[in-house]
Amino acid sequence: MTPSRDVEPAKPVQLDKRRMILDAAVVAFATRGFHACRVSDIADEANVAYGLVYHYFRSKDEVLDTLFLERWNVLLEVIAEIDAQPLPAREKLHAIASFIIESYRHDPDLMKVIIVEVTRAANSFGRTHLAKIREAYALIADIVGKAQADGTFRSAVTPTFAALAFYGAIEQVLTGWIFDTLPQGEPEFDQAKAFIVETICGGLDAAAAR
Amino acid sequence: MTPSRDVEPAKPVQLDKRRMILDAAVVAFATRGFHACRVSDIADEANVAYGLVYHYFRSKDEVLDTLFLERWNVLLEVIAEIDAQPLPAREKLHAIASFIIESYRHDPDLMKVIIVEVTRAANSFGRTHLAKIREAYALIADIVGKAQADGTFRSAVTPTFAALAFYGAIEQVLTGWIFDTLPQGEPEFDQAKAFIVETICGGLDAAAAR
DNA sequence: CGAGCTGTTGACTGACCAGTCAATCCGACA
DNA sequence: TGTCGGATTGACTGGTCAGTCAACAGCTCG
């Protein structure tokens, strides 16, 4: 590149302090919970001075905001992409469950923070993000609605309701893993994807014709 | 009045200050959220001096503990009673969903506190009660397991998993009502009971034989 | 009547922590 | 080399509350 310095600084640490703070916040929030976590915990975890957090973020809340929005927007995009593909509704739902569960597998701390501190905390904090969260429900409901229209799904329940149940099942499973109420590991992850879809789409009833 | 005193004090207020404090706490927690709610808010709401809260409870946490346990134990008993009756599994599930939804209809503030501050807050606070919460899952899973054994339900998913999905759907619906994401009212309450059971038991798939 | 108990009061304290800010560092550029 | 501005530092402040405590009220029983 240039005469005076390396092609790549190649330092794994440093570089983007803002990013470091965000990553540290994930660990800090996941470990102690948002409320119990002090701003100094984030700074310590990031090996950065207390005040620097306030150089990059207006408040402790804004740090969590940023983490949530970064990730949730990805989720919304992915759901839209999945929906755009020419797949049967059941497979679309499987793909969505799959993406969320893979997100957890890849970065459990981040998902823990998003679910526990935002999604499931619609009081206190998540209130700000209710609309954003609802967008995801709406996208899922849309998938169900279209499948009902073309006869793939029956119309016994409203799309809104089906979306709620579907997302609710995913959230309960993740919550189970997060708090060690449910065994987790590679096989469990794949099993969960299948079970969520099977429960919501297949149902429990042993109809005569099955 | 009578010479010395009435047969019944008949005063609607007073009588049991401890109860008054608990009822006030429900309102205070529901309105401001557990964290944002100060102990003085509870005392004010109960028309009682600050210190009296500490006469009846060791801490602010213990107030919430008490509220949760009082109600959750009732839930566990009711589920056990329902299970003891000679009903098809599907109707047992309907009875459970019904009880929870009626609890909300009867006292939305209390259910809001229990769900938002305990059940969905397994971090911070609800951690203490994880075992208690799991008991409910276990009872539901048991109902499903027995139905699978006698062939009423198919065995495509584990009972544990079905219980998670079932309870998850109920919680999502309540959460929707609590935060006004979902329309609520008499017809919606009954519809929700039916839809929850229909989704979990009937499934979305339009099997040929239906 | 008074001793002793429970119930009741609310001012006060001690701890905690988000957010501020003045000072310092450091790289870019003239 | 000097100046400028963003990056970085961490001590400090202000406000908030949970929980304490000393005093007081009112009942019961001897």
CB-CB under 8 Å, B168 with A165: yes
Judging contacts by C-beta atoms under 8 Å, the chain A residues touching residue B172 are: 164-165, 167-168, 171
Of A67-81, A114-128, B47-61, the range with the lowest mean pLDDT is A114-128
pLDDT for B128: 87
Other CB atoms within 10 Å distance of the CB of residue A148 = 20
pLDDT score recorded for residue A4: 39
- From chain B, the residues in CB contact with A198 under 8 A are 156-157
Q: Taking the CB of residue B50, how many other CB atoms lie within 10 A of it? A: 12
Asked if pLDDT for residue B6 goes beyond 60, the answer is no
pLDDT(B210) > 60: no
Averaged pLDDT, B190-205? 93
Closest residue (Cα, C1') to D20: B51
Mean pLDDT, residues B180-184 taken together: 94
For residue A197, the model assigns a pLDDT of: 96
pLDDT at A210 over 50: no
- Chain B hits for A172, CB-CB cut-off 8 Å, are 164-165, 167-168, 171
Q: DSSP letter string over A45-91?
A: HHT--HHHHHHH-SSHHHHHHHHHHHHHHHHHHHHHHHHHS---HHH
Q: What is the DSSP secondary-structure string of B127-138? A: GGGHHHHHHHHH
Of residues A4 and B152, more confidently modeled: B152
Is residue B12 scored above 70 in pLDDT? no
Of B20, B112, B14, give the one whose Cα is nearest residue B68: B112
Cα–Cα–Cα angle for B67, B72, B77, rounded to 5 degrees: 135
Contact A148, B203 (CB under 8 A): no
Indicate yes or no: strand C within 7 A of the C-beta of B20.
Answer: no
What is the arithmetic mean of pLDDT over A52-60? 97
Q: Please report residues contacting nucleic strand D, using a CB cutoff of 7 A.
A: A 17, 48-52, 54-55; B 36-40, 50-51, 54, 59-61
CA B32 to chain centre: 19
Q: Over 80: is that where the pLDDT of A163 sits? A: yes
pLDDT at A12 over 60: no
Q: pLDDT digits over A120-137, tens only? A: 987 777 788 999 999 999
**Per-residue model confidence (pLDDT) at position A93:** 98
Percent of chain A with pLDDT over 90: 85
Q: What is the mean pLDDT of chain A?
A: 91
Gap from A180 CA to chain B (nearest CA, Å): 10
Q: What is the mean pLDDT of chain B?
A: 91
Which band of pLDDT confidence, cut at 50, 70 and 90, is reported for residue B23? very high
Tell me how far CA of residue B186 lies from CA of A159, B52, B101, B177, B192, in angstroms: 20, 39, 11, 12, 10
CB of B51 nearer than 7 A to strand C: yes
d(CA B29, CA A206): 43
